[in-house]
Amino acid sequence: MISAHGLRKSFGDFEAVRGIDVTVRPGVAFGFLGPNGAGKSSTMRMICCVSPPSEGELRVFGMDPAKDGPKIKARLGVCPQEDTLDVELNVYDNLFVYGRYFGLPRAEVKGRIEELLDFVQLTDKAKAKVDDLSGGMKRRLTIARSLINRPEILVLDEPTTGLDPQARHVIWDRLFRLKQAGVTLLLTTHYMDEAEQLCDELVVMDQGRIVAHGTPLGLIQEHSTREVAELRFGVGEHEALAAKVDDLAERIEVLPDRLLLYSDDGEAVIEAVHSRGLAPVATLVRRASLEDVFLHLTGRTLVD
């Protein structure tokens, strides 16, 4: 569906994307995970034909975005980071006028709107003004709008950023259904839980480059231990205490507010720490996540 080789994007002196290779197969939920400024959105914009690549080769549906932008865009669904809804039109009209941009007959658009409003659970809001919707509802409406042309690839740029946990779960549920229906999903996120829940395959981006590529589970297995023991000591003590416990784990990360000890048996690590006479203010044993993968690969956390 999508292939990129040596893809680069520069804005003046700033290089946002520094030569990436990506292949997205049909039916896959493909994620771009990385912190703000990693080059995820720039990559999405190139795929969506609204940002010409500075260098490299990019093909979407086998076509060149520079030459066949409108043809590619006809088959894409785009859910941008900002909703870009027309707040002066109501929910129904936002979908109706958008469907018409794709050359679909009026009657057909109307039929699709009913189905899509049902799908994103906004049927009773059809006549509501966009301004009166909550953030989660606006996001769902934007997703419905991006589905009006029954796209072969749905591109979602930070689909749940800024939403409360409940609204995020509703979005995830809808996206999961789309994935099950066989829609190719392409999403960017800086939430590791989102990437883990939705993505079959993902790349980790940092400073315009891809630093890792694989399945969520595969990446965790490759770059982390099974469990992580988190130790919280007094403010400013973490750096000094790290040396006293670093032999208890395969790897240790020192964060400003806690120590992360990587081991396949987190409980055993905590016991060993206590047996050395150290008394952390709080302890936690958890399963390793993509956050740990990112920390390991870049030395930084995802959400600063």
Partner 1 sequence: MVDYAGSGPATPPTAPSGLVSGALRMGDYWLTVLARTWKGGVITTFVTPFFYVLALGVLLGGFVEADPTTLEGADSYLAFVAPGMVAAHAMTIAFSEMTYPVYGMVKWQRIYFSMIASPLTASHIVLAQLGFLMLRTLFACGVFLLVLAPFGVFETWWGLLLAWLVQGLVVLAFATPVLLFSLSIKGEESFALIFRLGMIPLTLFSGTFFPVANLGPVLEKVAMASPLWQGVNLTRMLALGEIDWGLAAIHVGYLGVLAGVCWWLAVRRLGERLVS
- List interacting residues with partner 1 (CB under 8 A): 11, 48, 50-52, 68-71, 73-76, 78, 80, 82, 84-89, 93, 96-98, 100-106, 108, 111-112, 115, 118-119, 145, 147, 149-151, 177-178, 181-183
Shortest Cβ 178–partner 1 spacing (Å): 5
Q: Which is nearer to partner 1, 117 or 199 (CB)?
A: 117
For the bound state, the minimum distance from the C-beta of residue 87 to partner 1, rounded and expressed in Å, comes to 6
Give the nearest distance from C-beta 206 to partner 1 in angstroms.
23
CB of 263 to partner 1, least distance (A): 43
Cβ nearer to partner 1, comparing 25 with 129: 129
Which of 149, 188 has the CB closer to partner 1? 149
Q: 87 or 281: whose CB is closer to partner 1?
A: 87
Nearer to partner 1 (CB atom), residue 182 or residue 277: 182
Q: What is the 3-state secondary structure (H, E, C) of the chain?
A: CEEEEEEEEEECCEEEEEEEEEEECCCCEEEEECCCCCCHHHHHHHHCCCCCCCEEEEEECCECHHHHHHHHHHCEEEECCCCCCCCCCEHHHHHHHHHHHCCCCHHHHHHHHHHHHHHCCCHHHCCCEHHHCCHHHHHHHHHHHHCCCCCCEEEEECCCCCCCHHHHHHHHHHHHHHHHCCCEEEEEECCHHHHHHHCCEEEEEECCEEEEEECHHHHHHHHCCCEEEEEECCCCCHHHHHHHHHHHCCEEEECCCCEEEEECCHHHHHHHHHHCCCCCCEEEEEECCHHHHHHHHHCCCCCC
* Nearer of residues 182 and 236 to partner 1, judged by Cβ: 182
DSSP collapsed to 3 states, 27-73? CCEEEEECCCCCCHHHHHHHHCCCCCCCEEEEEECCECHHHHHHHHH
- Taking the complex as a whole, the smallest distance from the CB of residue 84 to partner 1 amounts, in Å, to 4
Shortest distance (Å) from residue 192 CB to partner 1: 26
| CB 59, min distance to partner 1, A | 17
Cβ distance to partner 1 smaller for residue 75 or 209? 75
